[in-house]
Every structure is written in C-alpha cells, then in structure tokens.
Structure 1
Amino acid sequence: MSQLQPQTGLQQTAEEPLLNIQQMQFWLDKAVAWGQADNPDSQKDTCLHLSRLRDFLQQLLTRINSMSSTTETLKRLPFLGQFLGRLCWNPYVTADAMSRKLLFQCLWGLYSEHPCNAVERKANQWIQKVFCQLATEEDDATSHALIKHMGVPPKEYHLKVLRKMVVMLQENTGKSCSSFSNINQRCSCDSILAMSEACVPLVTCPEAAPLIGALLQKPMTCVRSTLSEDFLDALSSAYSSQCLSLEEQAEVSLWHHSLSSLEEAVLRLLECVPTNTGSGTQKLEQQLAQSLLPKACAQQYSMFLVVNDIFRSILKQAEGVEPVKCLIQSFTSCFLRELALQQHQARVSLKAWFPQSPQRLLVPLLTLPSEMPREAWRRHLNWLSSSLQRLTEEEEEGEDGESSSSTSLEGHYKVFEAWFLLVQCAHWVQVAAQLLVTSGPEDCDQLLWLLTFYHYPTTRGHQRALQLVRAKEAWDHLHSTFLVVLPPLPVEHLKSLITLLSPRSQQPSLSTLFILSLLVNFAVFSQQPLSGSTEIFQTVVDGSGLVDEAASLLSSLELKLNGGSCLSGDANRVHLRIKALQNTLTHAHSTKPCREPGTHTHTA
C-alpha cells in the first residue's frame, strides 16, 4: 500500500488534547504488527482489540473533521497515511461493518474536492485507490458517492478476500481430529479456539455464515475443540437482536452451545402467547409450526430438559393463566409429533425426557386419545383422575399430620409435577370435558374432579373441595338444561348459569372460563337439536356478557378438533355446530341484548 507520506514523527500541540502521542503510537504499532492478519496470532489480536480500535477511529475522525484542510491534517498527523493504509489491507478490520464505515469516513475527511497543492493531489490519488478496496456491493451509498465525486467504479476486493479466507478456514474446520493418531503431530483441533475468536467481528456478516455454521456443528470429540466464549457471546447477542443468519442445523447447534440463545428462543415464543384463550391460538400454532425449537428438542433431550425447566418456572409464577398453559400444551404437542418422526434414531426412554414427572402417569398421559378406542376413553380418564386424587390426598395428609417439612415439600413437588404433566397433555382435559356432556350424575364425579384439578392444582387461596361443589352445581344446571327437548327452557337453570358466569357475582364460584368451557362443550357435543343448543348458548352468553370469551373458546375447540387431539364420532356434525354457534355470536354483536330467559320460543 502506498502512503500519503513517510512517517516522520508524531506532532501534537498543547491545544489538541483529544489524542495523545502514546495512544497514537500504540495503534500505529498494532497496525504494523497485524499486517494483513495472515497468521493466527495477528488474527486473534486484531479481534481482541477491534472494539477499542473502533473507539480510536471515532476519535481520529473527530480530529480530522476539526482540521481546516488536508494539508493541515497531514502536518499535524504525519502517521495517518500509513496507519489508515495498513488497516485497509487488514481483512479482519474491513470485514467489520462499523470499522469499515469509520475508515471510509476518515478517508473521505482527507479527500480534497479542490486540491490546492501537490500534497493534496497526491492524497486524492491514493484515497481513490483505497476507496476501490473499501467499496462493497452492500454499500450502495458509498458506491454512488465514489462514482459521482471521483468517477471510480466500486469493487469488491475485501469481500473476495473474506470469502477466500472463509473457504480456507471452513476446510480446516472439517478436518478430522488427529489427537490420537500421532502423538508427534499437532492436533487439527488446536486451531478451533483461535478460529472461533477470529470470527467474533464476522458474526453478522453473511459471507461468514458457512464458517460459523461449520464451527457450531463440529463434533466435540476433543478437549481442544472448545469454542471461544467471546464467539458464543457475540453469536448470542446477534441472535437476540435478530441480526444473525444461520441455516437450520447451525441454529440448533447454537442453542446447544449457548444457553442464553436457547432462552431467547423460548422468550420469542412467549411473546406470541395470546392475550385471550382461543383468540390468538391459531397464530400461536402457526408460530410453533415455523419454529425449530420443538424439532431441536426432539433431537436432543438435554435441550428439551432446559426448555421444560423454563416452562416449569413460568407456570409456577402464572398458575392460573390460561394463555401460558396454551403455549405449553401447543409446544408439547408439536414436540411429541417431532419425536415420533425420530424413530429411526436411537430411542431415548420417556423417563429420560420427563425425569421429574410421576412415572406411573407418564405413559397414560402422553398417550394420545387417537391411539386408543373411543370406548376406552372414560375408563382411562377415571384411572387418571383416581391416581391424581391419591397424590393430592397424600399431600394433604402430609400437611395435616406431623410429618417433617421435607416430606411436605416432597408432596407439593409430586403434585405440581403431576399437574405440569397434565397441562402438557391437556388433550385429555378436553376429552374429559367432551365426555361430561354424555355423562350421568352417577359417572361425572371423576371427570369433574380432573377438570377442577386442572384449573385449581393447589389449595392456595381456594379449597379444591369447595370448587368441586361449584363445578358439580354448574354441571347439574347444564345437564338439566340440555336434556330439555321441548319448550319452554328451564328458566331457573338458565338464570343460575348466568349468575355463575356473571363477573358481578359476589358468591365464591369456579372460574368463568371453566364454566363457559363446559357450556361450549355441551352446546357442541350434546344430542340437543342445533336450534335448541343455539338458543341456550346465546341466552347464557348474552346474559353474562361473555360473547368475546365464548367466541375465543369456540375457535380454540375448533383448532383442537382439527389437530386430532380429541375425536368425535361425527366430525362433520360437530364442525357444523361450531360454525352455527360462531355465526350466532357474530349476529349477537349487531342485535339488542337478549330477552329474559323463558320469554322466547324454542323449536326442537
């Protein structure tokens, strides 16, 4: 690289405190020592100093802009030509977008549109040559400036250098480990750490993506193949700001290497959690379908354990928040589908995937309803309900007795883990709600207990026994109402349902979402003629003012049925009834409030 003039010394007046001689000499020595960064030591040192170099270039730019002319600048800073020229030949500096931008601005500050002497004319000629190197296809503004002001066409020199370097390093990355083949031969993994450090400034550079992917996916068969923490931190930061472009498997490998990146992926899913159950369920399902996370977890059970722990912590803080449950249910469903596709690989036992779950409940809950005959559903659910009841009774006995605190904590732990697994496998909760529609008073207790436990897993702030009484009361009203085929409708039962659902109710009651969910299932799955079901449904929903919530639950139920998590004997009939109920709610928005229960006719 030619330079503006040879280095004759560093000059600085007392009126110029922005830069000091020691600082300038330090960076000039660095630029000379780095050269063109063609050996691992200079590459590593360049990367380690890159952030500080950017700060210095910013100070230098401020100084250049404060000068009256190029002649004055070169008189005060005679080292400048050599310093900037050496940096322009260093691909590790020019590959960094911010450093390249600062270099361009420094050079542009030296360019004289109207050179008045030989020094400025010579400087202009040199700067034009350097601009050819710095201009890239990505820097359209830079290219246009060069063409307009100097008539120099932009070239891609440094990008070509970078691409060649990436190809060369990627080939080295793919070499097999030689640690154990020849004790006198240097292990090929020795360069992995240095190579990853060299990639720190390149993490957002698309040209470096193949090399970054190769480093992330290199099998860790040798203790020397460790990746740099700075490299992983830079990748994690770029991933968090969504400035990182990686292929699918490389992104999965990043999650494996970087816990913070994995946590960021889970948090992105949490951002998609619908604010109201059902209203955003379809969007969440689409987001999960596009996400690599379920597939990655199915490939590596250690990753699934981390994600599950994150969900576990969130659920402890948001026990009754239905949208959070919705995310966990949907994610687990996607994960189980991906896991089923991994059968050709070495299978890991279910206990390894769910080590904290009660093992007795694991297979029964993870089994999908579609994997067993419909006639076996009720017996299966009764067994699940009885098993969960025994767990909660053991916990309560431990709290009431004189057991040690450790025993009490163990009981809490078991019940929570059982509930967490039920939340993950909530397809059985939906089946229970569906079966309650056709249950009689003698066989509804176990199903109601299961649904009550799903909504109220602990006795903190509410007694489960009392909530079960309220659940039975709501079911009795629904059961009696939907048994009526001929008019008039049972006014007292309708009024009681509206009272239970009304936010103005002062009496302790089950969550409106629970009761409304029961109402939706009765309206959809009962044998009541559609006209009768629609009238009951509209009367109760309008009377309680829960039109939007009911519409959300209908939408959520429709998605679950489409996903096959629960099956009806007559799918077409069920979908037609859902559509009719949805149309009723749409019509309700454009009409006056409903009449008093019992003042309308009912057609069978």
Structure 2
Amino acid sequence: MSEEQPLSQLQQTEELLLNVQEMQFWLDKAVAWGQADSLDTQKDTCLHMSRLRDFLQQLLTHINSMSSTTETMKRLPLLGQFLGRLCWNPYVTASDTSRGLLLGCLWGLYSEPPSNAVERKANQWIQKVLCQLATEEDDAAAQALMKHMGIPAEEYHLKVLRKKVALLQENVGQSCSSLNNQRCSCVNIVDIAEACVPLVTCPEASSLIGVLLQRPVTCVREALSEDFLDSLASAYSSQGLALEEQALISLWYHSFSSLEESVLSLLQSVITTGSTPQKIEQQVAQSLLPKACAQHCSIFLVVNDILRSIFKQAEGNESVKTLVQTFTKCFLRELAPLKPQTSISLKAFFPQSPSSLLVPLLTMPSEMPQGAWRNHLNWLSSSLQRLTEEEEQGDGDSRSSRGHHNVFEAWFLLGQCAHWVQVAVQLLVTSGPEDIGPLLWLLTFYHHPTNRWHHRASLLARAKEAWKDIYALFSVAAHPLPSDRVQSLVTLVSPQPEQQSLAPLLTVSLLVNVAVFCQLPLSGSTEILQTVVDQSGLLDEAACVLSSLELRLNEGSCLSSDPVHLRIKALQNTITQTHSE
C-alpha cells in the first residue's frame, strides 16, 4: 500500500502535466484561428475539430471532478483564456456538439455560491460570455464568417440565438440529481435563467422562458432569481414579451408584483372605460386571472385581497362592484372542472369569510330549483341579520372589532355573489304580496353595509316606501301618469346629501325589475321607467341594471325569443334613445 501511493501521485502529476501541455497546444491553435481569416485557417479549424471536441469532453469531465472552481483554475490557469477564445470563434460554435461542450464547461465553472473573489470574478465573466455569445454583433471572426459564407448579419445572429436557446432548453429538462456532496444540477437552472435576462424580449427565447417558468420546483436551489422575474415582469407590462397562457400564469405564481400589476391594470381598464357588465365579463375572462386563481390558491388569495381593499374603498362605485362579482363568477366557473382533481376546499380560498355563508352564497341560482330560491334568500337574510346584531351588541367590548370584521367579510362575500341580490330583486316583483321584509333587508344591507342601529331601521322603512310607490305606479294603467307618485319616486331615486337617503341604485334596481317582470303593457312600463330615470338623471344606472339582468337571464334558461328578453331589449332601446336626445 505504501508503494502504491507514490505511484498514484506520480500518475496524477503526469495527467496534470499532460492536460496543461495539451491545453497550451489548443490555446495556441485558438489564438492562430482568431488572428487570421483565410482559407487555410478554415481548413485547419475543420481538420482539428474532431480532436478539439474530444479534448473538450475530457476537459468537461475534469472540471466536474474538481471540488471547486478555485481548484480547477489553480490546476489549469489557462482555462479561462482558452474557453473565451473558443466561445468567440464562429467556426467552433457553429457545431452543436462543440457549442454544447463549451457551455457545459462554463456551467461547470460557475460557483453557487462563490466562496472567494476568484470565484465571484469567474461567475461575472461566465454570465457575460453566456449573454454576449448570443447578442454580440461586432465580433471580427463572426463578421469574417458571414462575409465568406454570404450570410446576412441578422440571419447569422438569429441562428446563433436559436442554437443557444435550444441548448439551454435541453438542460432545463434535467431533474435534480443532487446526491451527497455532488454538484446539484438545479444550479444550472439558475444559471440558465440569468443567461436569459438580456433575451427576455426576443421572440426566439419565449419557449425557453415558458419552460423555465413552468418547471416543477423540486429543490431549494432551483428558485428563479429576482433579476430574471423582474425582467420578465417589466418586459410583459411594457408589451415587449409575449407569453403563452400557462407561462403567464406561472409568471404570476413566481412574481406577485407582476400579478398585482395585472390586477390593477384590469381594474383601471374597467373603471376608466365605464364598461357594460357584458364587456366587463369579457375583459375579466381575457385577463386569464380567474383561470390562474383556479389553478393556484396562492394567486387567488393575492387577487382577492386586492379586490377586497378596492371594494371597501369604493363602496358606491358600481363598476367596482360589477368587476368583483364578475371576477368571482368567472373564477368559480374555472374552478368547477378542477374540483375532482384537487382537494383544496372553498375555505382555503375564502379563509376570512364566515364559514356558514360560504356554500349558500357561492352556490349559483341555476344550481337549485327556482322554487327553493325564496327560502334560500330568507335564510341568507336572517343569517346576515344575526351577524349584524352580534356586531351591534358587541360594541363597547373586546368583541366589537371581531364583529365589525365578520360583518364586513359577510358583506364582501355577498358582493362577490351578487347574483343572489339580483334574484332577490326579481322575487320581490314576481312572488306576489308575500312578506317582503327579509328580501328588502338583504337589499338595504348590500347597498348600505356601514349603516347600523336606527339608521338601518330608517333605511329599511324608506326602502319599503319606495317599493310601495313603485308597485302602486305599475299597478294602474293611468294616463297621464300620476304626477305625485312620479315625483315621489324621483325624489327617492335622486341622490340625496343626507346620511339616511337610499342608494339610488337600490331604487333603480327595483324600478327596472318591475318594468321588466310586471304585467303592465310594455308601453306603460316604458313610459314610467323613461320618465323617472330621465327626471332623476340616472339613465346610465338604469342601463347598467338592464344589462346585468339580461346577462344573468341569458346564463339561465331565458331564450332570445322569451317575452322577458324582448321587454329588456325594448327598454334598453328606450334608455339609449333618451340618453342620445
């Protein structure tokens, strides 16, 4: 054993000497190839290419066997100069095999994390070589090759870029192979992502970016860098980057700042354009946000928090309310087919909402018989009343803040599921002279969540008064219209500065639904609706209610030839004509 040890050391010394001598030979060749552009140089390069690839393969094996980049550079001090010259030689990099071996050597030298100044400097140099290899346009050798082969510069660099992307993409598919103290292959993923930073706006790199974003994370060393994600987010927001659906969803999953920007962009688009409910639904669906939220609970929680904050700040903004309701509806639609494949409960998506209200509110009206709607709404109304009573009784003690929170979350969930509010208005018109108290209470709570104690009782009394006037006006076919009742309605509908005035949209909703569902001839309903909304200046609000009603009925069993649908169209035409006059 003592005799074998010196022999082993001798073999290592001879092997190292051989490597250094052979690298000096190839470095001399690389220098000669880069200093002259002649037919003889090209022939010499082609003649030695096979042997060069063999040496590069040996070199790659040697690099991977070293414990660190520092040790490798100590044993092979000419390594950096050698690799650098070859990377800028287009006759060498034109071969996929040679190019792959060069990139493998560079990645093998990359240190994560660098342990000293030598390794930090090597990392910077490697990143520079990887980035510029695909984007440099002034390389003399490349220009010589393009001139000799008659290839336009743009075409040459495009081919170089495509080759680089293809090689990088091959390495992305490798799974984590970290064993004991061996180098983890996931470090390469981080390196590849860093190499993509200057390429994020190149269409040729979009497939590689998509693969990087969608690669399952199996190792803590595999996390994509902030530089890479920030570059993608910036390029996407400036429309300099096109991503496929799943790649965009993955970007949102990795970068919450990009997700927030997309949500705020959608919100701004809806508010500034004053879109109809139909157009808002189209905008929401095209944004891909509901689909992303259905696939990733974490994305939904971020989006929902943003919408919750906006919903609270813009209590009277109907565009915001419509956006929140539409988003929730589209999200539930995307979530439905995924439910058999996921064990995530609704509570995970809505952790702050009162548990007892989750399923009743998130259930769509189309999912239960129409005959059960009334009892369902009565139960919802009584449950919400209990929550508000508990809040009021808790004022003055430690339970008060918890009560406020529960009531707000219940109101927000009701706003997300406002289809039940729309059904409540419809039932007020179509159910006959039954007890309207629970339904009106639900409506006043939806439109006035922050009014408590005697304010809520006062508002409920005013809602009953408005309903009585509307019902009486549509119950008779008097002509001309009774001016006193019309004026009373106009006063109730018109915005009032006083604190206890009804929200205009509450009365407009009642008015529009009665005009649609009542038994009065269409001409009479049209005259009443037109007169009241025209005098109160709420034509836009009436048009919005009609559009929302049309959208909800179209999602059910209401056909375009249905009498109700025809009445809606006629009323919409009247509102539009009045608005244009």
TM superposition score category, shorter chain reference: 0.7 to 0.9
Residue 192 of structure 1: aligned partner: 189
Q: What amino acid maps onto 1:162 in structure 2? A: L
Residue 160 of structure 2: aligned partner: 161
Q: What amino acid maps onto 1:403 in structure 2? A: D
Residue 450 of structure 1: aligned partner: 442
Are residues 1:323 and 2:324 paired? no
Q: 1:463 aligns with which of 452, 455, 467?
A: 455
Are residues 1:177 and 2:176 paired? yes
Q: What amino acid maps onto 2:171 in structure 1? A: N
Per the normalisation by structure 1, the TM-score is 0.72
Equivalent residue of 2:176, what SS? coil
Equivalent residue of 1:273, what SS? helix
Which of 1 and 2 has higher RCO (CA within 8 Å, sep 6+)? Answer: 1
Q: What amino acid maps onto 1:427 in structure 2? A: H
Are residues 1:216 and 2:213 paired? yes
Q: Aligned pair in 2 of structure 1 residues 548, 184: CA closer, same or farther (>3 Å)?
A: closer
Equivalent residue of 1:320, what SS? coil
Measure how far apart 1:154 and its partner are. Answer: 3.8
Residue 429 of structure 1: aligned partner: 421
Are residues 1:339 and 2:353 paired? no
Equivalent residue of 1:246, what SS? coil
In proportion to residue count, which structure has more helix? 2
Q: 2:244 aligns with which of 222, 244, 247?
A: 247
Are residues 1:375 and 2:371 paired? yes
| Cα distance in 2 between the residues matched to 1:416 and 1:507 | 20
Q: What amino acid maps onto 2:241 in structure 1? A: L
Residue 311 of structure 1: aligned partner: 307
Q: 1:560 aligns with which of 539, 552, 561?
A: 552
Using the aligned pairs only, state the percent identity.
Answer: 63
| Cα distance in 2 between the residues matched to 1:571 and 1:518 | 24
| Cα distance in 2 between the residues matched to 1:423 and 1:177 | 46
CA contact (8 A) 2:387 2:407 kept: yes
How many residues get paired?
480
Q: 1:494 aligns with which of 468, 486, 511?
A: 486
Per the normalisation by structure 2, the TM-score is 0.75
Are residues 1:299 and 2:313 paired? no
* Residues 536-595 of structure 1: CA deviation (Å, up to 9, x unaligned): 11221222233333223322322232233xx6699711111011112222343576xxxx
Measure how far apart 1:324 and its partner are. Answer: 0.8
Q: What amino acid maps onto 1:160 in structure 2? A: K
Q: 2:562 aligns with which of 555, 559, 572?
A: 572
Are residues 1:267 and 2:267 paired? no
Residue 286 of structure 2: aligned partner: 290
Measure how far apart 1:152 and its partner are. Answer: 8.0
| Cα distance in 2 between the residues matched to 1:462 and 1:165 | 72
Q: What amino acid maps onto 1:586 in structure 2? A: T
CA contact (8 A) 1:189 1:224 kept: yes
Residue 550 of structure 1: aligned partner: 542
| Cα distance in 1 between the residues matched to 2:405 and 2:253 | 28
Q: Aligned pair in 2 of structure 1 residues 49, 177: CA closer, same or farther (>3 Å)?
A: closer
Residue 48 of structure 2: aligned partner: none
| Cα distance in 1 between the residues matched to 2:152 and 2:546 | 62
CA contact (8 A) 1:276 1:552 kept: no
| Cα distance in 1 between the residues matched to 2:449 and 2:330 | 25
* Residues 219-265 of structure 1: CA deviation (Å, up to 9, x unaligned): 11112212122111211221222212222111111111111111112
Measure how far apart 1:394 and its partner are. Answer: 0.8
Residue 30 of structure 2: aligned partner: none
Measure how far apart 1:431 and its partner are. Answer: 0.3
Q: Aligned pair in 2 of structure 1 residues 457, 45: CA closer, same or farther (>3 Å)?
A: farther
| Cα distance in 2 between the residues matched to 1:131 and 1:471 | 83
CA contact (8 A) 1:95 1:201 kept: no
Equivalent residue of 1:272, what SS? helix
Are residues 1:129 and 2:143 paired? yes
Equivalent residue of 1:242, what SS? coil
Equivalent residue of 1:334, what SS? helix
Q: 1:479 aligns with which of 462, 467, 471?
A: 471
| Cα distance in 2 between the residues matched to 1:571 and 1:412 | 46
Q: What amino acid maps onto 1:529 in structure 2? A: P
CA contact (8 A) 1:46 1:92 kept: no
CA contact (8 A) 2:301 2:349 kept: yes
Measure how far apart 1:480 and its partner are. Answer: 1.1
Equivalent residue of 1:328, what SS? helix
CA contact (8 A) 1:47 1:200 kept: no
CA contact (8 A) 1:437 1:522 kept: yes
* Counterpart mapping for 1:64-143 below 5 A: 92-93=131-132, 95-96=134-135, 129=143, 132=146
| Cα distance in 2 between the residues matched to 1:313 and 1:320 | 14
CA contact (8 A) 2:392 2:452 kept: no
Equivalent residue of 1:156, what SS? helix
| Cα distance in 1 between the residues matched to 2:226 and 2:242 | 19
Measure how far apart 1:508 and its partner are. Answer: 4.8
Once structures 1 and 2 are overlaid, which stretch shifts more, 264-273 or 412-421? 264-273
Q: What amino acid maps onto 2:364 in structure 1? A: L
Are residues 1:366 and 2:356 paired? no
Residue 235 of structure 1: aligned partner: 232
Q: What amino acid maps onto 1:214 in structure 2? A: V
CA contact (8 A) 2:134 2:160 kept: no
Residue 59 of structure 2: aligned partner: none
Q: What amino acid maps onto 1:428 in structure 2? A: W
Equivalent residue of 2:339, what SS? coil
Residue 117 of structure 2: aligned partner: none
Q: Aligned pair in 2 of structure 1 residues 587, 31: CA closer, same or farther (>3 Å)?
A: farther
CA contact (8 A) 1:47 1:201 kept: no
Are residues 1:203 and 2:200 paired? yes
CA contact (8 A) 2:469 2:485 kept: yes
* Residues 106-127 of structure 1: CA deviation (Å, up to 9, x unaligned): x9xxxxxxxxxxxxxxxxxx69
Are residues 1:351 and 2:350 paired? no
| Cα distance in 2 between the residues matched to 1:271 and 1:31 | 53
Q: Aligned pair in 2 of structure 1 residues 3, 525: CA closer, same or farther (>3 Å)?
A: farther
CA contact (8 A) 1:193 1:225 kept: yes
Q: Aligned pair in 2 of structure 1 residues 360, 162: CA closer, same or farther (>3 Å)?
A: same
CA contact (8 A) 1:419 1:454 kept: yes
| Cα distance in 2 between the residues matched to 1:186 and 1:31 | 24
CA contact (8 A) 1:320 1:456 kept: no
Q: What amino acid maps onto 2:222 in structure 1? A: S
| Cα distance in 1 between the residues matched to 2:193 and 2:308 | 34
Residue 9 of structure 1: aligned partner: none
CA contact (8 A) 1:365 1:428 kept: yes
Q: What amino acid maps onto 2:157 in structure 1? A: H
Measure how far apart 1:172 and its partner are. Answer: 1.4
Once structures 1 and 2 are overlaid, which stretch shifts more, 36-45 or 434-443? 36-45
Are residues 1:403 and 2:397 paired? yes
Measure how far apart 1:32 and its partner are. Answer: 9.5
CA contact (8 A) 1:216 1:253 kept: yes
CA contact (8 A) 2:391 2:403 kept: yes
